[in-house]
Amino acid sequence: MLAGSSEISDLNDLRQYIKETLASDDQLEVNAFSMSERILIRGEQPCGIYFCLHGPRAVKYTAIWETDSNSVLFYGSSGERFHRTQLIGAPVLQAALN
């Protein structure tokens, strides 16, 4: 598993970074497939966002932004984690709730 760090302070930049990273793992064209997301809740408080890139042939690639550690975990189509990024600066999760 690879690890890295990235300075992202905007939620839209985070979305784009996640989409690019998920697509590059399987050499997909970045904007060819849709991506959905869901807010993760722990104890009635938002704690992150689950992202899912819907690839070809119903294959799914996922990432989870975990706000407590301010990191993003990336998972391939087999469910195996292939990358972890520590974010420097954090997007505002409240922006995703609106």
Query: How do residues 4-31 score in pLDDT, each as one tens digit?
Result: 666 787 899 999 999 999 998 888 888 8
* pLDDT tens figures, 29-57: 888 899 999 999 999 889 999 999 998 88
- What's the rounded Cα separation, in Å, for the pair 64 and 71? 8
pLDDT of residue 3: 60
More reliable by pLDDT, 28 or 84: 84
Q: What is the average per-residue pLDDT within 74-82? A: 94
pTM for this prediction: 0.86
Task: Please count the structural domains in the chain.
Answer: 1
Parent domain of 90: 2-97
pLDDT of residue 18: 95
